[in-house]
Amino acid sequence: MKKTYQGSCHCGAVRYEADMDLAAGTIRCNCSICRKNRNWLAAVKGSDFRLVSGEGDLTQYQFGTKRIQHMFCKHCGVHPFSRAASGAPAERFHAVVVSCLDNVDTTELVNAPVMYVNGLEDDFKSPPAETRHL
């Protein structure tokens, strides 16, 4: 069942709300940025994501195909979410970093299913051969 979660960067300058169901699944990816940041993600439709504060405190990083805007706080450096680089804002998907959720219960995290994807080889339908390091 969908629930509204609040999330933020470390210093609190960037705050957002996201309507999502963690029981529907989360994602661990082996692409270079997810591996280095040890990202644990939850996909959210654009219409279910609201940036509450900190638009001016965000900056972005793009690499490779530049399809994703990896957003991070200019002050504390925390990367609270990413978003699709094109399309209308309400239609863009967001990849919320689960560890940046402020009001998530530990039980929800423990019970959230994890899907592994092979972003390193741009194959988001298959898991990578090795996942223990993710």
Domains in the chain: ranges and CATH: 3-120 (2.170.150.70)
Q: What is the mean pLDDT of residues 72-88?
A: 92
Question: Above 90 in pLDDT, residue 12?
Answer: yes
Cα 33–Cα 44–Cα 20 angle in degrees, nearest 5: 125
pTM value is 0.89
For the chain, percent of residues with pLDDT exceeding 70: 99
How far is CA 82 from its chain centroid? 5
What pLDDT, on the 0 to 100 scale, is given for residue 41?
Answer: 96
The pLDDT-based confidence of 76 (bands split at 50, 70, 90) is very high
Question: Above 80 in pLDDT, residue 89?
Answer: no
Work out the end-to-end distance of the chain between its first and last CA atoms, rounded to an integer number of angstroms. 26
What pLDDT, on the 0 to 100 scale, is given for residue 85?
Answer: 79
Tens-place pLDDT, residues 37-60: 999 999 999 999 999 999 999 999
Mean pLDDT of the chain: 93
